[in-house]
Amino acid sequence: QGVMLLNTVLTVEEHKANSHKNLGWLDFTLEVIKALSNRGGIVFVLWGANAISYKKYINSQTIHIITSPHPSPLSAYQGFFGSKPFSKVNACLEHMNKSPIKW
């Protein structure tokens, strides 16, 4: 359905968040975001401060951007619950005359 899920850091040591942050994943994530940003017609959903920090690299003229706190147990109650990211994505897709996603 055209959904890509991507963490800013793709590997970690068990129970150690961001333990592989300095192994090149941030550069990889940045390049993926830049490449997708140039395509247009995409909805980016940025969850949490790490993801939201990449917002400045997204071409917001042709891309829809939705942000909220991360859905992890550590921050879900700080604004993720009730943020309705999936219905917001579908609203953006419909605005672009695209089919909504069956989440």
Tell me the per-residue pLDDT of 9-38, one tens digit each, with 9 for 90 and over.
989 999 888 899 999 999 999 999 999 988
How confident is the model at residue 63, as a pLDDT? Answer: 84
Report pLDDT digits (tens) over 43-61.
999 999 999 999 999 988 8
Could you tell me the pLDDT band of residue 3, with boundaries at 50, 70 and 90?
confident
Q: Residues 88-100: what's their mean pLDDT?
A: 94
Instruction: Find out whether 63 and 43 touch, Cβ atoms under 8 Å.
Output: yes
Predicted confidence (pLDDT) at residue 62 exceeds the cutoff of 80: no
Q: What angle do CA 11, 14, 17 make, to 5 degrees?
A: 65
Q: How far apart are CA 91 and CA 98, in angstroms?
A: 10
Q: How far apart are CA 24 and CA 95, in angstroms?
A: 36
More confident residue, 59 or 94: 94
Quote the pTM value: 0.85
Q: What is the mean pLDDT of the chain?
A: 91
